[in-house]
Amino acid sequence: MNFHRPFSKIRLPLWAALLAAVLLSGGITLLALWCQPNALRAVLVQFKAQPLLIVLNAMPVGLLVLLFAALFRNVFFSASLVNLLVCGLSIANRVKIEVRDEPVFPRDLGLLKEVGSAMSSYEIQLPCRAILLVVCVTLALLLLGVLIGCRPFPAAKLRGWTGRLLGAGGSLAVLVVLVLTVYASNDLYNSFHVSSPYYVPAVFNELGFPYCFTHHFTTYPVDRPEGFSKSAADVWEHTAVAETSAEPVNVIMVMNEAFSDVTDHEIFAYDETNDPLPNLHALREDPHALTGHVVVPGFAGGTANTEFDVLTGIQTNALSATTTSAMRVVNRNLDSLFRLFAADGYHTSFFHPGDDWFYNRENVYRWLGAEETMFIDQMAEPEYKGRWVTDRYMAELIEAEFEETLASGKPLFHYTTTIQNHMSYTLDKYGEGYEYPDVPLHRSVSDPVRTLLRVYAEGARDADAMLGRLRDYFARQEEPVVLVFFGDHLPYLGDDQLGYQELGFTDSSDWETLHSFETPFVIWANDAAADTLNWETAVRRLELGSTVSASFLGAAVAELTGHETAWTVFLNQLRREFPVVQKNAVLRDGRVIDPALLDDAFPEMLSKWRQWSYYKLKYQEFAS
């Protein structure tokens, strides 16, 4: 018997190799979907109702198979590599969702260091069955590649590396074009029915990991600023700051949902007997209060972007030339007011009566350095008014948090984001039959707008009551407390700004550039804090104008209370020169100016701000 007979490899013709690529791509896609946290059967039911999802999930897998098949000249070797890559990412997605309740995004591929830290920080249960199956399939495909090859390409000139590179390059080009067009389409992505569109892990589970992962190659961008220098930013970051000897003051920040003073507009006919904002108006006359308007990133929405701006000093609207979600660009430890106050021995906490997955807050606030977080699932017997947790209940939680922290012997830095006055402002917001006070007006408006105003004003009245309650509570305390209360954005009053048009707000020449982003703020000190801070002197030095960008508010509070870093010192210098910086408007000396018309000082400071922000997002290191 001849044991040295050469092995005869099976060679597939071109048509058979292409058919194998299609079938293998489908199989890899199914295996990747099976590796997801949810049952494959549920995914297939979703795909049956929306067949386009089948193509969108399989297409990137198929193009990758063709790409590597052209390079290797073997469809099974290619499928082996793609199977390991795609299914490996799907397993990583499953683990990340189970550990952090957040899926894998393309940007995670550049965070290997953070992945290693997470692996050591969590008790991770690996899906061993899925891993074993993926490895076995990968090895089986490798073996098939050894046994089965492809016939030479029909065109002799394309049988060498020229043909390989052309085939791979063509597949890659098609994939890139699809990523930048079809897969980048938010309209397409949002057109598919999902059970919970704002819960990103559920969207990944229901629409399929391959499609969702590919879609997010073009989402949540952060642009590298022109002239960025990591070494220069590192020098800025480590610039020494004069130490202060101020006694610790408790700081309570409350960002109230859609809190605004739109009812102060001249079209409204409120008087002292029915004023929906008596506490805000009283504090405007309080000698221990600073009041004005904060200019937030978005109009009638974008709560989390305002949180981000206030807490970090980085501007959402400067992250990218395209629209982005600030909370979604955070994927590593980041500087914030929580870290600033924690470094000075404060207990730091964040409360929000919503789901922890919304805007990825559960992870983001850990990355921002909050020592304690509390979301709706951790709140005992929450009080509801209609479908939302009340501002009154949140005030109770803040008071309890203050007392618990006081008993521990630490000062407190606390941030709450409320939810009660969230849209929509329909008559059923607080339950069927709820009696809303009328809204007195000096001109007639349409019935839909009057309804919006009545419902919104009821929530604003409760928000103002929360402000008054917290002021009264902290006024009774012997411990020094600074209360910061402000709105996250203006209320939504109908499509195309219907309510604002009928009320006459849009007639203002600065409405689109400035006033549509303004919400009221109050910085108030109780007697103990006023004495500790030497209030009049501190306020005079602060030079806080009546209108300020949200990105400067946190830094102003840091300076007022004696907690500064090189970053906050810079922000406050910038604020003094340009108290409001928006994409299309800058406020200077009380005038709204086109940024293009300013002298060289502004572009220089703006460039430094953008570069330093990018450094913080990408490079600044903190202990976990």
Is residue 182 predicted with pLDDT exceeding 80? yes
Which residues are CB-neighbours of 520 under 8 A, at least 6 positions away? 259, 260, 261, 280, 291, 292, 293, 294, 486, 487
Q: Give the C-alpha separation, 281 to 166, whole Å.
A: 71
Residue 70, Cβ neighbours under 10 Å: how many?
Answer: 22
**pLDDT at site 126:** 84
Is residue 447 predicted with pLDDT exceeding 50? yes
Domain residue ranges of the chain, discontinuous segments joined by +: 10-215, 248-618
Among candidates 86, 108, 107, which has minimal Cα distance to 36? 86
416 DSSP β-pair partners: 254, 351
Q: What is the pLDDT of residues 202-221, one digit of tens each?
A: 899 999 999 999 999 988 88
| Mean pLDDT for the chain overall | 92
Is residue 441 predicted with pLDDT exceeding 70? yes
Q: What is the mean pLDDT of residues 437-459?
A: 96
Q: What is the pLDDT of residues 314-367, one digit of tens each?
A: 999 999 887 678 988 998 999 999 999 999 999 999 999 998 988 889 999 999
**pLDDT at site 124:** 67
Is residue 601 predicted with pLDDT exceeding 60? yes
Q: Copy the structure tokens of residue 552.
A: 């400067």
The residue with tokens 């059923």 is: 428
291 DSSP β-pair partners: 522
Q: What is the pLDDT of residues 530-547, one digit of tens each?
A: 999 999 999 999 999 999
Q: What is the mean pLDDT of residues 447-452?
A: 97
pLDDT band at 26 (very low <50, low <70, confident <90, very high): very high
Among candidates 412, 253, 416, 403, which has minimal Cα distance to 345? 412
Task: Specify the 3-state DSSP secondary structure of 382.
Answer: coil
**pLDDT at site 353:** 97
Q: Give the C-alpha separation, 465 to 442, whole Å.
A: 25
Is residue 5 predicted with pLDDT exceeding 80? no
pLDDT band at 592 (very low <50, low <70, confident <90, very high): confident
CATH of 248-618, one of 3.40.109.10, 3.40.366.10, 3.40.720.10, 3.40.190.150: 3.40.720.10
* H-state helical runs in 484-594: 498-503, 527-533, 535-542, 550-560, 566-577
**pLDDT at site 430:** 95
Backbone CA torsion sign across 289, 291, 295, 300: positive
Asked if residue 151 lies in contact with residue 12, where contact means CB atoms within 8 angstroms, the answer is yes
Report DSSP letters for 411-459, one per residue. -EEEEEE--TTPSP--TTTT-TT--PPP--BSS---HHHHHHHHHHHHH
Q: What is the mean pLDDT of residues 14-23?
A: 91
Percent over 90 (pLDDT), the chain: 75
Distance (Å) of CA 76 to CA 88, 281, 293, 343:
17, 73, 63, 56
pLDDT band at 112 (very low <50, low <70, confident <90, very high): low
Q: What is the pLDDT of residues 137-173, one digit of tens each?
A: 999 999 999 999 887 777 766 677 788 899 899 999 9
Is residue 387 predicted with pLDDT exceeding 70? yes
Q: What is the mean pLDDT of residues 495-511?
A: 94
pLDDT band at 121 (very low <50, low <70, confident <90, very high): very low
- As a whole number of Å, the end-to-end CA separation of the chain is 67
Q: Give the C-alpha separation, 509 to 21, whole Å.
A: 60
| pTM confidence score | 0.84
Strand order in the sheet with 586-588: 580-581, 586-588, 591-593
